[in-house]
Amino acid sequence: MSLFIYEGVTKSGEKVTGKFFGTYQELVKELKNEGIILTNIKEETKKQKKGKFTNQDFSDTIEELNYLISSGVQLDKAISILVKNASKLSVIEFWETVLKKLKEGKTLSVALKETGKEKQFNIPEFYINIISVGEEIGNLPAAFQDIIEDLKFRENIKKEIKSATAYPIFLLIVSILTVFFVSGFILPKFSDIFTEKELEKLPTISKMTLDFGKTVHANMDIILLALFFIGGLIVYGFTSGYFMKNLSKFVYSIPYLKDIALKIELANVFGSLGTMIEGGVDISRALSLSSRIAGNTTLKNILKETVSEIKKGKKISNIWARYDIIPDNVISIVAVAEQSAKLGEVFKNLGKRYMDEFKNEVSRMLTFLEPAIIVFLGFFVAFIVVSIMLAVVSVSDIYG
């Protein structure tokens, strides 16, 4: 597809100029319909960005589709416009594939599901279910809006976690680099000041410190290689998802972190339940899909059991009341929501509430963590200074 700058003449002889993005054939057809005779044309190829189709791309294009369809544009025409306006090759290819499947007679939910598999892009199953329900009731804009809200909610969770951990991680890295620099470059310089005889007469604390510096300096290449290797493993672990799969086991083994992790789990599960139920997804299906996104094994099993129990006619609040992991106030609120038939709205509000509680808990934890790292760094530097001062004073006493 290209951007065309054209000149033409109307039937009345009036000169016109304009821009058109698409193919040459589409431009000729468009001008013919408008009764314009083409006199001059210049093609400017639109630069297309490379890269994988990301969650942000999916979020942006769904929002654009929602706007177009809400404005009265037909679905296939809306996707065509989206493809024409896209500047990223992977976005164009993804939605062109969806459009092709729509023209084959498939529904949007099926087309998205199949395209996601073909392009190796994971579209959450509950999004597909929400779109499927929207197609059944003839209200795709409402389905898109529910998905957009959920995408924004999840993006906020990611941003909160990143912003909460960024500064402590930065402090930790600075602390490690400081320890490495002082030990590998500063301490060996002081060691060279003393003779072997003087080193033997230094206080134990000073000898230990200077020996540590010598060891670091002598094994600098190995230490650097080890640091790069560990860094590479960490990056690979997070990008491959290995750490994320096993992180929850570690987090849930620590009492205080366990409470914080549970809040973000509840925010995630309740937010998803609210989105699906308000989107028209059956409560059993919503619970089943939510169990797949739950990271906590106990919570996952509770949701699975709830699916089977509500089919027997039992209420969610009564089922959840058996488990300590579900807070009492949540059970009370859900019980009221079941009577008022406002489960979707209540679950959404609970999701936002636990998201706020998660942010508050993380802020409280960082209030103690950040000073602790700074104190550790200060203690290390002070320990080095005291060790060196003791060494200098000891040598002075020897020759004094």
Q: What is the pLDDT along the chain (400 residues), one digit of tens a residue?
A: 566 788 888 888 888 888 776 677 777 888 888 888 888 887 765 566 777 888 888 888 888 888 888 888 888 888 888 887 777 888 888 999 999 999 898 999 899 999 999 988 888 887 888 888 888 777 888 888 888 888 887 787 777 777 777 777 787 788 778 877 877 787 787 777 777 777 777 788 888 888 888 888 888 888 888 878 887 777 776 666 555 556 666 666 677 778 888 888 888 888 888 888 887 888 888 888 888 777 778 888 898 899 888 888 888 989 999 888 888 888 999 898 888 878 888 998 998 888 888 888 877 877 777 788 788 778 887 888 888 788 777 766 655 5
Pair 95, 129: CB distance under 8 Å? no
Q: Which of 350, 362, 369 is nearest to 162 (CA)?
A: 362
Tell me the residue type at 400.
G
Q: Which residue has the tokens 């001062």?
A: 389
Cβ 191 vs Cβ 210: under 8 Å = yes
Please report the pLDDT score of residue 154 as a whole number. 76
Residue 291: phi, psi to the nearest 5?
-65, -25
HSE-up of residue 176 (Cα within 13 Å, Cβ side): 10
Q: What is the dihedral of CA 127, 121, 97, 92, to 10 degrees?
A: 110
Give pLDDT, residue 114.
Answer: 92
1.20.1250.20, 3.65.10.10, 1.20.81.30, 3.30.70.20: CATH of 169-400: 1.20.81.30
The residue ranges of every structural domain in the chain are: 2-45, 55-152, 169-400
Query: What's the pTM value of the predicted model, to 2 decimals?
Result: 0.61
Residue matched to tokens 């002598």:
218
* C-alpha separations of 239 from 70, 130, 166, 242 in Å: 37, 29, 17, 8
pLDDT score, position 47: 63
Q: Say whether domain 55-152 belongs to CATH 3.60.15.10.
A: no
Q: CA 120, CA 50: separation in Å to the nearest integer?
A: 16
User: Which pLDDT value is given to residue 21?
Assistant: 65
**CA angle 334–328–164, rounded 5-degree value:** 95
Annotate 238-264 with b (16+ C-beta within 10 A) or e (fewer).
eeeeeeeeeebeebbeeeeeeebbbbb
Q: Amino acid letter at 65? A: L
Rounded Cα gap, residues 231 and 234, in angstroms? 5
Q: How many CB atoms lie within 10 A of CB 59?
A: 17
Which stretches of the chain are DSSP H helices?
A: 24-33, 55-70, 75-85, 89-103, 108-118, 125-137, 140-181, 187-191, 196-200, 204-218, 220-240, 242-251, 255-278, 283-293, 297-310, 316-320, 328-340, 343-399
Tokens of 97: 């594939």
Exposed, middle or buried by CB within 10 Å (0-12, 13-18, 19+), for 11?
Answer: exposed
Cα–Cα distance, 146 to 274 (Å, whole number): 9
Q: Cα–Cα distance between 320 and 334 in angstroms, integer?
A: 10
CA distance to 160, 257, 356, 395, per residue, from 153 (Å)? 11, 22, 12, 64
Identical fold for domains 55-152 and 169-400, yes or no, is yes
Alpha carbons 318 and 310: distance in angstroms, whole number: 10
